[in-house]
Chain A
């Protein structure tokens, strides 16, 4: 199936749910959906478009909103599902029920952006240490790292 045929068929299947649909490059399709439509859209991609493979989820702090990009791939095309949530309401639905392999990426989103992924089977931190302070989310744009003063025990400081 060519890119154009896939875009047309996505337009038909998603209808109003597809807020934006773009095909900027060969084998690259970007589709934007509302957060509420995320799980149905992902289910549709898995069942009808052979996109059971989720490569990863990218998060981006855009100031007023957070944007999340789910990178799916089928043997013929790479479909990226974009969704945006406001900074005032940081909740996102988990897609682990549809794609079980998504759990690590959702855990990473939670700790890096401070959002709540609702329905995640394993809500622990992924990468950050256990004693990482609450309320510090490193990949937010307003987060800056301040290196703590190094103290050499028993010696010059």
Chain B
């Protein structure tokens, strides 16, 4: 006999709202259904009513953790549409922030993976170190989360020699500690025993289900936009594409720690070769009619924006595909044949960013009962009815 277990939309194991419905046979998951839509904000529709500059701020707010990814992906597309060539220094600073953001996102994920595997000291160590990079980002941009460093045609803030020295110092500390985490992640026996062989996704499945980012790379698919389609400064940097072939959560840990080490390398190269000059050029208010496909490797995988201009100061269409959405079909396969206890671990291993993946439209909140659907209004009415028809409460009487 099989049961269906609903996990979410609100659940202690998930940090954001999503509904996973597991069909289980005993302890083993036999079927998975993912239901989305609990975090929809209508971003694509709103973008058609805002001008090019306003949309930077909108794109930045698609996600909290990879905020810079969406803003950069949008901005580099708009710069192509406007035929702008941002100054080299501006580009270096922009992608320096990109790599710092990747460091903070991967450290955050490592902590979550440690936490879900029951290894909380790992979580505390990585999150302590994440503060170093968060402070660096605050120093560069003035903000810890929404850096808002991008402007059309360059960046908003310059960095000076003192800041450069501080970044290098922070990166040196992080490199030493990440090397230690790599050692732990790949060799600490109890941690490895918990994550090895969990959430298998074969290379063939990863290819056919269009998995992206570290999930695909941990299954041996060497797919990274920074290598395949080197945008802006990435063809001037020397770095390696990190893959693993274990196809499980262990592989995803290894890929992410290796990427951390590559990011430190890139940050140092960018700071060493930081060109002199302006940080931004002036952008026109309108863009000529045209279309552009902008690709960007976010910490979670490929981020793609399709932007179409109609000659006015507003886009005709802005289509956003966040990496987490691309990884959902693969997640269903990873969960199948797994155990109930592995659900948080496997689901966390794709580094889900639910608010990224859901950005289209939600206007009416809805709640699903098991057999019927109740709108928020109906629910309110039911609550009021119930309240009014309830027997009058007597005041509590003190028993003595």
- Please indicate whether A and B come from the same complex rather than being unrelated chains: yes
Cβ distance B328 to chain A, nearest Cβ, rounded Å = 6
B335, chain A: closest CB distance, angstroms: 16
- The answer to the question of B50 belonging to the interface, with a C-beta cut-off of 8 Å to chain A, is no
Which segment of B105-113, B159-167, B318-326 sits at the interface?
A: B318-326
A100: chain B residues within 8 A (beta carbon):
208-209, 329
Measured between C-beta atoms, what is the minimum distance from B146 to chain A in Å? 24
Judged by a CB distance under 8 angstroms, whether A53 is at the interface is yes
Q: CA of A25 to CA of B295 in the docked complex: distance in angstroms? A: 13
Contacts of A55 in B (CB 8 A): 210, 295, 302, 304, 321, 326
CB 8 Å contact bits of A98-113 with B (1 = contact, 0 = none): 0111111100100010
B306 engages A153 (CB within 8 Å): no
Residues A129 and B229 in contact in the complex (CB < 8 Å), given A53-B223, A100-B209: no
Q: How many residues of B contact A (CB 8 A)?
A: 47
A115 at the interface (CB under 8 A from B): no
**In the assembly, what is the distance between CA of A125 and CA of B364, in Å?**
15
Closest to A103 in B: B329
Q: Known A55-B302, A99-B208; judge A127-B329 contact (CB<8 A).
A: no
Question: Which residues from chain B contact A145 at a C-beta distance below 8 Å?
Answer: 42, 45, 363
* Residues of chain B with a CB closer than 8 A to A112's CB: 360-361
Q: Which residues of A contact B306 (CB under 8 A)?
A: 56, 58, 69, 71
Query: How extensive is the interface on chain A, given as a class?
Result: 35 or more
Asked whether B366 lies within 8 Å of A73 as measured between CB atoms, the reply is: no
Q: Which of A76, A80, A126, A138 contacts B42 (CB 8 A)?
A: A138
* Nearest chain A CB to B373 CB, angstrom units: 5
Residue in contact with B45 in the complex, picked from A28, A59, A99, A139, CB distance below 8 Å = A139
B308 at interface (Cβ–Cβ under 8 A)?
yes
B209 pairs with A101, CB closer than 8 A: yes
Q: Write out the residue numbers on chain B whose beta carbons fall within 8 Å of the beta carbon of A60.
A: 308, 316-317
Interface assignment of A83: CB less than 8 Å from any CB of chain B: no
Task: Find out whether the CB atom of B362 lies under 8 angstroms from the CB atom of A99.
Answer: no
Determine whether B36 belongs to the interface, using a CB cutoff of 8 Å to chain A: yes
Q: Which residues of B contact A56 (CB under 8 A)?
A: 304, 306, 319, 321, 325-326
A75 within 8 A of B: yes
Q: How long is the Cα–Cα vector from A147 to B46 in the complex, in angstroms?
A: 14
Q: Does A10 contact B (CB under 8 A)?
A: no
B44: CB under 8 A from chain A? yes
CB-based contact A78/B293 at 8 Å: yes
| Proximity bits, B205-223, A CB within 8 Å = 1, else 0 | 0011111000000000011
Knowing A56-B321, A101-B209, A145-B45, say if A127 contacts B36 (CB, 8 Å).
Answer: yes
Q: Is the CB of B364 within 8 A of A132?
A: yes
In the bound complex, residues from chain B placing their C-beta under 8 Å from that of A125 are: 37
Q: Give the chain A neighbours of B169 by CB distance below 8 A.
A: none
Q: How far is the CB of B203 from chain A (nearest CB, A)?
A: 11
Q: Which residues of B contact A25 (CB under 8 A)?
A: 80, 292
The residues of B with any CB-CB pair to A shorter than 8 Å are: 36-37, 40, 42, 44-45, 80, 207-211, 222-223, 228-229, 290, 292-293, 295, 302, 304, 306, 308, 316-317, 319, 321, 325-326, 328-330, 358, 360-366, 368, 373, 375, 380, 383-384
Supplied contacts A55-B295, A58-B319, A73-B302, 13 more A-B pairs, CB within 8 Å: A52-B208, A55-B302, A59-B319, A73-B228, A99-B208, A127-B37, A127-B362, A128-B361, A138-B42, A138-B360, A139-B360, A153-B383, A153-B384
